[in-house]
Structure 1
Amino acid sequence: MLYGLGILAGLVLPIQTSVNTNLKNRAGGSPFLASMLSFTIGTIALLFATLLSGQSLFFSSHLFTSQPAWIWLGGLFGVIGLTTNVLIFPYLGAVQTVIMPITGQIIMGMIIDNFSLFDADHHAFTIIRLVGVILLVVGILMVVLDKKASDGADKAKQLPWQILGIVAGMFQASQAPVNGHLGVVLHSPIHAAFISFLVGTIILFVITGLVDRSYVHAKDAIGKGNPWWIWLGGVLGAIFVLSNAFLSPQIGAGTTVVLVLLGNLFGSVMVDKYGLLNSPKKPVGIMKYIGLVVMLIAVAIIKLY
């Protein structure tokens, strides 16, 4: 039951990215406005979740002086991750929009573990982890260089977006221990998720105002001709955060990561192969399937050993 929940949580991310991309296309084409709207809805959902859990929405001002400043950076890291996914999705498709950030997450995750950044527990870089990294690189190359999936695609033009996806994944990996520490301090992972989303929403309101100089295009996504599901991105993000917060203590962080990744990969293949939620169809060759399996094995080795 819990394992199935982990896979379902993973399915949420590629669907969320596709939903938010549709929202962007109908809200003036601005990834910042789309992310702002998504974060706002997610914040509202987490507000109610926090209240239902019996937690206060507020916290002691003493935290500003007694805790490191980085505990408030989770929202910023989330903004970078979500907005980047919306940016790269049209250029890379659902599968690569999942695996490039995952690559960045694995790289940064091992850096965090090895150097105990953000007060994380120390996990040394071992030979077994090195084998996992090598397998991960092999799997990524199989996915990216898959001939059938690459037909008609300009690999040179994709490279900057692939690098951007990896960098975004490194920020997403940093978000997990930051929010985890905040959850310990607040004695509630749900409250921590709400604070993180709230900070992200405020940041996106500022960025959208500075870059787009207007919020008026938000109304373009409302009304006839616009499917109702384009507003679900924030709720899906909140579900993902809450699912991870629930599963990690129950089945372990490593197992949770592997199950979520399995859902990520399955969901992204379905979105690409069938063009779900108005996404462009992208062919999925046998080499890509094999590469995804190799990646899953690699992540299992890195996270479980």
Structure 2
Amino acid sequence: MPNAVRMSPLIGLPLSLLAGVAIPSQARVNGALGERLDDGLAAALVSFLVGLVVMVGISLALPRGRAGAGQLIPALRERRFPRYYVLAGMIGGYFVLSQTLTVAVLGVAVFTVAAVAGQTLTGLVVDRLGIGPAGKKALTVMRVVGAVLTIAAVAWAVSPKLGAGGEPSEWLLPVLLPLTAGMLMSFQQAMNGTTGMHYGTPITATLVNFISGTVLLAVMWGIKVAVSGPGNPLPGEWWLYLGGPLGCIFIGVGALLVRSLGVLLTSLGLIGGQLIGSLLLDIVFPAPGSVVVAATVLGTLLTLLAIVLATLPWNMPGGGPFRRRGSRTPAKASRQRPQ
């Protein structure tokens, strides 16, 4: 497996927070585009298409992008990773589909809690199994506490809006869609991190994501058009097409960081960034009817605390309290290795 440059959490976590801010911004832009088109699925497809054009341009313009693209076919031919990893972008398509089908029933708040819960919990599983490029991460007490605390914090942050989901009997089944979509997001980050490492750059991993995601959304949109017809024509405002570039930032930074931070910590940073971005948008550019309340602010701060708890030094591999008795730390193992 190729050597990868490891990034310190002191650098990686702020980057993940900034990348997470791109998601609520993207949601706001794509939401506005969906309203103008009267077709949320078409808005998602346009977003992916613009992102694909951006990534093709970056891949052609940058030497590292060209080099990574040149590694795509050899990596698949030599089976450096499971070939189905190139379909990771379809998970993003499934996430969009679950949003399209359930947000009207659940409300954004319940959708967010379900997706974040799934993403955080499977982040623990993916790290424990060593699916991502960072290898196996110790299941320490504080990593578990950080994950559980993140779920509780997000639930607290969106609690003022939970009433939008209706009676439990109405959203118990629909909530499974965002829950499973969130679970798959952790696997997507692990797959992107692995493929990006073998391509030699996250640029190519992001490009392949947009290719597979665009194909899936195009098929879904074609079925939708055949059933109910197209929506409105494309609007002229340039800012309505920023969703794709924002998605490039989110996917690319996630693929870059997961090799150093692991899936769980990358997910926690991205979640914290999403909450911070949503809070800033509601304060600076509030949507009609949105109100910033104390629970939202405090829940966001609690999420940041959970990220800090999950990244403190006691979570170093081999030093967690869940380590089996008799196992040696890396330092002791190196001293006892035969010469």
| TM-score normalized by the length of structure 1 | 0.80
- 1:127 matched to 2:135? The reply is no
Matching residue of 2:296: 288
CA distance, structure 2, for counterparts of residue 65 and residue 299 of structure 1: 38
Q: Which amino acid aligns with 1:301?
A: L
Task: Report matched runs for 1:255-270 at 5 Å.
Answer: 257-270=267-280
The answer (yes or no) to whether the contact 1:70–1:178 under 8 Å persists in 2 is no
Which runs of 5 or more structure 2 residues have no equivalent in the other structure? 1-9, 316-339
CA contact (8 A) 1:136 1:298 kept: yes
Change (3 A) 1:65 1:206: farther
Query: Considering only aligned residues, what root-mean-square deviation do their CA atoms show, in Å?
Result: 3.4
Aligned amino acid, residue 21 of structure 1: G
- Measured in 1, the distance between the counterparts of 2:280 and 2:177 equals 23
Tell me, in whole angstroms, the C-alpha distance in 1 between the residues paired with 2:280 and 2:174.
Answer: 21
Match of 1:238 among 248, 260, 275: 248
Q: Secondary structure at the match of 2:230?
A: helix
Counterpart of 2:5 in structure 1 is none
Q: Give the aligned partner of residue 154 of structure 1.
A: 166
User: More deviation in 169-178 or 73-82?
Assistant: 73-82
Give the unaligned 5+ runs of structure 1: none
Match of 1:228 among 234, 238, 250: 238
1:103 equivalent in structure 2: 117
Alpha carbons of structure 1 residues 51 and 252: separation in structure 2 relative to 1, 3 Å: same
The 1:15/1:99 distance shift into structure 2, 3 A limit, reads: farther
Matched, 1:112 2:121: no
1:218-275 deviations in Å (ceiling 9; x for gaps) = 662334xxx43221111111122334455667x8457765554333112112334566
Q: Residues 192 and 150 of structure 1: is their aligned pair in 2 closer, same or farther, counting only changes over 3 Å?
A: closer
Contact 1:73/1:178 (8 A) holds in 2: no
Q: Which residue, out of 194, 210, 217, partners 1:197? A: 210
Aligned partner (choices 40, 43, 50) of residue 34 of structure 1: 43
The answer to whether 1:46 aligns with 2:55 is: yes
How far 1:39 sits from its partner (Å)?
0.6
8 Å CA contact 1:6, 1:243 repeated in 2: yes
CA distance, structure 1, for counterparts of residue 89 and residue 265 of structure 2: 25
CA deviation string 1:135-190 (max 9, x = no partner):
2343244234x4x5456763535655654333222121111111111112222210
Count of matched residue positions in the alignment of Structure 1 and Structure 2: 296
Residues 101, 273 of structure 1: alpha-carbon distance in 2 compared, 3 angstrom cutoff: farther
Superposed displacement of residue 200, structure 1: 1.0
